Every structure is written in C-alpha cells, then in structure tokens.
Chain A
Amino acid sequence: MSSTRSTRATREERLRKAQAKIAVQRAAERRRRRLLLASVSVVVVLAVFLTLVLVKVAGGGSKTSGGAPASGLSAAATAQVVETTTHVPDSVLNAIGRGTTSNPPSSISGASALTSDGKPEVVYMGYEWCPYCAAQRWALVVALSRFGTFSGLGLTQSASDDVYASTRTFTFANVKYSSPYLAFTAVEMQDANRNPMQTPTAEQQHLLAVYDEPPYVSANAAGGIPFVDLGGKYVINGSSYSPQVLAGLSWSQIAAALSDPNSAVAKGVNGSANVLTAALCNLTGQQPSSVCSSKAVTDAKGALK
C-alpha cells in the first residue's frame, strides 16, 4: 500500500514538472508571437509614413494650401517654368513693347518714397485665390527678373469658383528676391481657399488704406486687389492685362508662350512687364542701363500714367 502511494506521488511529481515545462514553453511561444506582431505593427506604421513622404517627393496628388489642385508638375518641370519665366529673351520683350497692357501703373504724388535697405521697394499685396493676382504675378516675375533674382517661387492657381477660374500662376507666399537695384516684398493675405494666410504689417495696411483708394485709384476700383506699390511713386490696382489670355493654359504652356512674340500670352504678360519695367527704371535711376535703355522699355514708357 505504501509502495503504491509512493509510486503515485512520483508520477504526479513527474507530470507536474512536465506540464510546468510545457506551460513555460507555451508562454515563451506566446511571447515570441506577441513580439512578432508588435514588430510587424511598428514596421507597418513606419511604412505608412514613408509611403506618404515618397508619394509627396514623387510629386503625386499634391494640393495647394487652400485645397485647390496644385500643379501636379514634377520639381524639374516646376523649375523649368520658373526658369523660362524669369529669362524671357530680350528680343521678344523688345518686339512686344507695351503689348496689350490695359491697366498701367499710375503715378502718385505726395507719397513718401518706399524703400528697404536703401533701395526702392516694390510691395505686392494679393490673395492666392484671386484671378487678377494670378495674372499680375506673371508680369511682376518677368519684370522684376530683369533687375534681380527670385527664389522660392511656387506654383498655384486661382479659385475654381471665381471669374477666370483656375488661372495658373505663381505664389509669392515663400518668395525671396535679391537685387542690387530693388527690394521686393510680397504679402499673400489669403490662401487659395480664402483663409487668412500672411498678415500685412501696419505700414502695408496703411498703403492699402491710403493708396488703394481714390484719388489714387478710380472710385469703382477702390480697395481692389492685387495692389502693387512701386517705390511710393506708382501704384497698380488690379491686373495690368486681362487674365482671359491665360484661360485654360497650363503653367508650362504659359511659360512657353512667353517666348513667342505673336502669342496673346506674351502680348499680355510681357507687354505689362515692359510697362512695369519702365516704371521701375524711374525708381532705379535708369539702372541697369542695358534694361532701361532697351527698346522694350523705351516703347513702354509712353503707357505710364
């Protein structure tokens, strides 16, 4: 009887040990599975982030800040648009003269000179969604590129629910401009979705309040945007030419058309740029002379009001 009990106890002990061992092995297996699952989760999350970045870098599916469709152009194509627009051949500009400019800069009297770092300052104030701003930016980029160099030019388009819908253009939101002759300040006050974007300084608000109103601009255009102040000597309210000439064209098509003196785009954009250049030459003391004595500027001078 005693022998039977002893045998049973030994068997129980062996069974207990075996089951304990199995339990430990199962726990280790569960832990391995949990670690594998956790590692996969971390990798999946990382892959999601990397995919987002890669899609962005590849230029797919991007939108502008307000929700309007962006260019969809690759970085190289965007750079090409910027390069073409900032280097319109002199021969084309000379051939166009004042082109189809309909709203040249108006001289303002009694205003104090607008300067920055000792240079005449050009102040642009507009909205990313505004179609007239869209048109005016092309002319400003062409004109100012004759005096200096832009960086940070981005592409955007005007609102799709406004007149001249989805006019392709640049945005000045992050622009920088360097020139030995001029300073340039841009304020994009609202984004493509009409949300507040950049806030004008008190001085810039003063410019709007005073010089974007009669008698400096016509009563029916009072408070109009875009507003451009050229060194405190000239102002432009609205676009210098009709945005209609840009209708339905892509950024690349507009940029390419700038080099064709017979295109409506070149007559509008380059013509306005020439008139702007003529006004700017009056700020810089006709410097640089290669620009200010060119046929394009001489022809366009007559359009200044």
Chain B
Amino acid sequence: MTVTQRTNIRNGTRTAARKSVRPAAAQSVRAPRWAVFGSLLTAAAGLGVSIYLTVAHYTATVTLACPQTATVNCEKVTSSPQSLFLGLPVAVLGVAYFAVMLLLCSPAAWRVSGPGPLGRLRWLRPLAALGGVGFVAWLVYAELFIINAICLWCTTVHVLTFILFGFVTLGAAAAVESSGGKD
C-alpha cells in the first residue's frame, strides 16, 4: 500500500465516521423533558405574575395583595423610581421578557438545531436567560439597598427568573444531538 492509498483510506474513513456520528441532514437536538417542560411552565408562570404586576401598575382599582411590614412593602417598591427602566415600567419589561422566553422554551424551539437563524435559538435561549438573571440582580440590589423594601410579587418573579435560568442553562448543557429528527 502506498502513502497515497493510506491517506485516501484515512480520508475516506474520517468522512464515514463523521457521517455516522453527525450527519449534516435531518439533525435535531434532544433536550431533557424536565428542561423543556420545566422552562415552559416557569416562563408561563412568570408571564402570569408579570401581567398581574402590569395591571396593578396601570389600574388604580387593583392593589397588589401584599402584606405591609417594615420589610415588605409592595407599593413602596412598585412606585419607586427604580420601578422604571429607560422610562418603561419594569412590570411591562417582565411581560415582554417572559413572552419571549415562553416562545424560546416551547418544545419546538428546544428541538431546533443546525445552521441558519433558527439554529441560533440554541444560544439565544441561555443568553436571554442570563440577561434575565442579570437584570433581576440589579432589581434585588435596588430593593435591598436603595428602596429598602421588598415586594413579594416582584420576588416571585425574581425566583421564577432564576429557576428559568437553571432549566435553560442545564437543559442546553444536557441536550443531546441526534440524527433523524427524533425527539
């Protein structure tokens, strides 16, 4: 066997091995069920609470069901200057964020893979989740050190954002690429 022949064989087998493990066509990502449904439910819950906070923000007749103590004071938090970000109520930003996350965490979105704009969802989802917890970190700081009061409903949203981050990040890491488009 000549050197050229050996090279050809190696090239040929490499191509064959690549095809058997990662075929270019009909590729999909199989994320764990707990991540798919956990993230979907968490995003839906976050959307629900954010809608409630938004309604309470814009409606004078709706008051947040929230105890008022020295530490817990929803009204103090939701009426503080920190309740606005770039002129927009944080509650509205929450609705927008969780609506987007709900789409990104749908089972179909979790399955998307490969090149192209849709394939970027795989990276967009954890990045959006990271952005979410980053913003929540600022809000928690504002509550604890600037406003000096905690809003229980806001804290619920903060916890949901963190749980969503956990589902999305761990789910993305645990996802397995598979051929044949199986879920």
Query: Which of A's residues lie within 8 Å of B, judged by CB?
Result: 8, 11-12, 15-16, 19-20, 23-24, 27, 31, 34-35, 37-39, 41-42, 45-46, 48-49, 52-53, 55-56, 61-65, 67, 70, 152, 154, 173-174, 193, 195-197
Contacts and interface: CB of A to CB of B under 8 A. Distances in A.
Interface in B10-25: 10, 12-14, 16-18, 20-22
Interface string B153-175: 00000000010011001101110
B140 interface: yes
A19 B146 contact: no
B21 A20 contact: yes
B21 A42 contact: no
Contacts of A64: 148
B165 A174 contact: no
At the interface, is chain A mostly helix, strand, loop or mixed? helix
Interface of B: 9-10, 12-14, 16-18, 20-22, 68-70, 73, 76, 79-81, 130, 133, 137, 140-141, 144-149, 162, 165-166, 169-170, 172-174, 176-177
A12 B9 contact: yes
A126 B177 CA distance: 64
B17 A16 contact: yes
Contacts, number: 99
Contacts of B149: 65
A132 B160 CA distance: 44
Given A63-B146, A70-B148, A19 B9 contact: no
A91 B141 CA distance: 45
Contacts of A34: 172-174
Contacts of A37: 173
B21 A195 contact: no
